[in-house]
Amino acid sequence: MTDDSRPNPLLTESALPYGLPDYRLIDAADYLPAFERAIAEHRAEIAAITRVRSMPTFENTMLPLERAGALLDRVARTFYTVSSADATAEIQEIEEALAPLMAAHQDAIQLDGELYWRVKTLHGHLGDLDLDDESRYLVDRHFREMTHAGAALDDDDKSRLTAINQRLSVLTTTFEKNLLADTNDLTVVFDDVEELDGLTAGELSAAAHNARDRGWEDAYAITLTLFTGHPHLSTLTNRESRRRLLEASRARGSRGNDHDNRGVLLEIVRLRAERAELLGYGSHAEYVTSDETAGSPAAVQDLLRRLAQAAAENARREQSDLQVIVDGAGGGFEIAAHDWAFATERVRAERFDLDRTALRPWFEAERVLQDGVFRAASALYGIRFTERRDLPAYHPDVRVFEIHNEDGSELGLFLLDLYTRDTKRGGAWMNSIVSQSQLRGTSPIVVNNLNVPKPGDGQPTLLTLDEVTTLFHEFGHALHGLFARVTYPHFAGTNVFRDFVEFPSQVNEMWIFWPDVLASYAVHIDTGEPLPADVVERLHASETFNQGFATSEYLAAAWIDQAWHSLSADEARAVSDVGAFEAAALRDIGLDNPVVPTRYSSTYFAHVFSGGYSAGYYSYIWSEVLDADTVEWFRENGGLIRANGDRFRERLLGVGGSMDPLAAYRDFRGHDARIEPLLKRRGLDG
């Protein structure tokens, strides 16, 4: 219960540095009242703009529009940080109650006829206005975004649109809630340690700890990851254990229980198709890509089809190599999906004399963070990191770092939330708690979330190579948020087109194997030995190894996303069998090899049914074209040096969404991105 005499801490600015929310003072019960107040305040601010009788000007329309909603922005960022990373039952309930409120509020502003008239009028006179480039682009973006949201529709269509958005907000929240519940339910429990042969002592103790937390003594519990595969599949020697783990993972959301997502996603697909039609588009994919750098579903599908055939062929070649290994060991079985990762590691061992699972002692988390991730960023951008143990975060496991520029000026705060917990959604992500804006006078606070299993008491956190990659990747997003130097909050950092946003994070992965960086972080936890040079060489030599599988499983998921969202409203109404639809889509693009399952099946494809990637999962490979081309640029120009970092920061990271991203890219690179570096990297160049 809230005490009426106690002021709601969310309504006043935090006294902590950079406006870091003081979560110690906030009760879950403070959120809803704060949201209600902030929404009302935002509406009043918009009403004050539309009440103005004089003709629209930049000063009487755009500036107050950008200043408006500061309180709501603060409350929402404070809340959604927690609802993703530490969603207790109470927080989940609030999130569910909020979803329709927030959708309605967003519609009320985006579809406001008078506001739209003012923005449209300004846009019509853009040539006559004396504005700097960022301000000019701001008018253009607001006009396009409001039009895209439906501001030009008549009142009847607007009310149907609003009803659809309301319903979608509820359904996407339900999808995520079901997925979290079913993932927890499907935790795989083993009674006998023999079944887990192949796991390290640390992994076993974490699994035992995990089981005890859930009230099971003398058992081992393995939590599922967001995607289809699981890191343990590469080391578990027991075939049946692997089968159980993969089966549990693939069953999520489709078991006919209370957490079944099939009906939920069918309704989402139908409503999205109906909305697209209402807005004048043939499908949701057409609607979405019309305001992305891709421009059309045809452009997306061309790229996916172009890559799929070569990827599927590579995967089939890899599969026969794996079968040889299985047969050679007298396996006596045909390789199945749950054998792939395990057999792959055997092939890797044989062909490259490389055991990736044995690398973990060289990847101690703290060392990777400080001497890898932070060190690379310091070398490129001159920034310095100081841990602020005096600053509280939203959970005791979260660490706070302050970042300064080379000249000593303050840049912002970086929060790292490394470990998995039942209240955290799966996967890894970056979000901003405060976004940078000169207009609002704010400096950035960004968070990176991962889902690394917490080691048993007293054990160090040893990362897999995939987790090391994720840490560098997410920190690339963090830099995008931290280096923002825009005027308007609309454009800060990662507020760019969705099919562009993965580009900076992917580029940051290039430093993982950069010799100076690797030498400083990849040091054996017990012996202090660096990762041997020949191991590094073999890692390089094996870079395109297993890329047929990795590319295929990704493309399969991207294609499923496209297939669902390319349906017209009529077509969407006719689909009733989720599994059959998915299978047909995979056959269509030739990615239906049962041994290479899709990275996500529809019923647990959170990116597209509850996250922001609907008709947009293609973005990763789309951004990777830019990424691979940029990696070439860094290599051509001397790699990890300050001059290169400055150019990348100045021309790309810092501008955020404040200009056309492909123009920013040309300015940085000197020409448009070429696809060849990507084909080479993924072994698709024939």
For the bound state, the minimum distance from the C-beta of residue 612 to Zn ion, rounded and expressed in Å, comes to 12
Distance CA 225, CA 466 (A): 13
Write out the two tokens for 440: 């609002």
Tokens at 38, concatenated: 């902030």
Closest CA to 269 of 557, 592, 578: 578
- Output the smallest distance, CB 372 to Zn ion, in A: 18
Least distance from C-beta 477 to Zn ion, angstroms? 6
Cβ nearer to Zn ion, comparing 431 with 505:
505
Tell me, yes or no, if 59 is annotated catalytic.
no
- What residues make contact with Zn ion under the rule CB under 5 A? 502, 505
Q: In this chain, which residue has its C-beta nearest to Zn ion? A: 505
Closer of 582 and 627 to Zn ion (Cβ):
627
Q: What is the DSSP letter of 651?
A: I
Residue closer to Zn ion by CB (options 338, 681) is: 681
CA distance 176 to 246: 20
Which residue, 172 or 505, has its beta carbon nearer to Zn ion?
505
Helix/strand/coil for 206: helix
Radius of gyration in angstroms for the set of CA atoms belonging to the chain, rounded to a whole number: 25
Minimum distance, C-beta of residue 655 to Zn ion, in the bound complex (Å)? 19
* Burial grade of 257 (CB within 10 A; 0-12, 13-18, 19 or more): exposed
- Which residues have C-beta within 8 Å of that of residue 93, sequence separation ≥ 6? none
Find out whether 50 and 114 touch, Cβ atoms under 8 Å: yes
**CA dist 167 → 91, 170, 294 (Å):** 20, 5, 28
- In the set 203, 474, 553, 582, the catalytic residue is 474
CA distance 196 to 300: 42
Structure tokens at 235: 């080391």
Compare residues 110 and 505 and give the one whose CB is closer to Zn ion.
Answer: 505
Residues near 139 by beta carbon (within 8 Å), at least 6 away in sequence: 58, 62, 119, 122, 123, 126, 129, 131
The amino acid sitting at 614 is: S
Q: Which is nearer to Zn ion, 437 or 505 (CB)?
A: 505
């578990």: which residue's tokens? 236
Find the shortest distance in angstroms from Cβ 509 to Zn ion. 10
Q: Give the catalytic positions in this structure.
A: 474
